[in-house]
Structure 1
Amino acid sequence: MLVLHHLENSRSQRIAWALEVIGVEYEVKTYLRTPDNLAPDTLKRIHPLGHAPVLQDGEITIAESGAILEFLADEYDPERRLKPEDKKSLRDYRYWLHFAEGSFMPLLVMMLLFRKIPKQPMPFFVRPVAKSICNRVVSSFIEPRLRDVLSLIEDHLTQNNWFAGDKLSAADMQMSFPIFAMSASMPLEGYPHIERWLVAVRKDAAYQRAVVQVGEFKVF
């Protein structure tokens, strides 16, 4: 049986969603974060970096969401529910599968870090300076680039129901984490097609089953 190692409030939700879509039997092992919001040592015994998600298939252990989704598409999805076949949809699938972690998530992580820095212990006279610098980085560097990212996504979803065309694919699952994180961080009223996509995701029966298994996205 496949085993999904899930760290609370991590990126494991999209793997559970994929597993529910293809209908394969799996077990979830959930790990709670430490008071410092880190992975516990028990998860590091599964993967040395303590990252989640991690998927075990017998003797095979796979980390990184994109690699796991590709593995599931290749090994457990004969009906091609995760990966499209036609060339254009396949190009889009590959692009967004890599875009999520390559272009989108680094900006979100940077924003999270710069918002946290002023809240860390420091001399009282340093805090206003740290807060001013961090706010400037967020407003002048991170947020403009995130708006560019959202505009790119909005334009694509204006022309496509899902990220790889007219059908749900693993590209949507990979993109779901940063978009849910983004929607919790800043309003998306100016991006109606992203909002439409979010509604469609939440209505998907397989997504709803995945939420029962590992919980809803609660980040940032």
Structure 2
Amino acid sequence: EMSMEQLYGRILMSLSNVSPENLRMHGLTETEIAVAKSLNETTLRELPIYIDYIPSARPEDIRAKVKLARKRKQCDFLILDYINQLDLGNAHGENLATSLGHAMKRIKDLAVEENIPALVIAQMNREIEKRNDNYKHKLSDLRDSGVLEQAADVVFFINRPELQGNGKGDDGESLVGIGNINILKNRNGATGTTRFRYNTHMTRISDY
């Protein structure tokens, strides 16, 4: 849903400690521009990140890109943002859930073939908003297809209590700027919940 330039700019702002709000509302000061330019020419240029924006991407497009990058030794980790945006090209008689399941299987097969981890981001069902315990995620909250949870080795959901009006935990601890990662499936390890800190102004997360 974001272009390569938008993602690039967000990463740059996060690294530079410059608030994206300043850029959108007031523009950058000369000092902030100098900091961003310096980071662009040093740190960001050295980061081993490749952003590939493919309009109406199909699983076959991603497969071809990854295969080529692997041959060039330029791909050790695949992040797909996000699977519900793929052009699934539904075959005759296939519903959305079936097509999404086939796409997920192709991405999983690609990760196994190339021996790389793949982080696949997916949407959640709207039904979760109707529950009083919407912060208690379930695997069935994944949108459109149960195949996603079946194929994945690890499934986790991100929750930020502050945004749901829960500013304090059960023990009275402030939850402002604190998020939870709820791990509901882990094929080779434990499940449970872990925390992280985030800064909404910088679009940045950090260790708890």
Shorter-chain TM-score tier: 0.3 to 0.5
With the length of structure 1 as denominator, give the TM-score of the two structures. Answer: 0.31
Structure (1/2) with the larger helix percentage: 1
Structure (1/2) with the larger strand percentage: 2
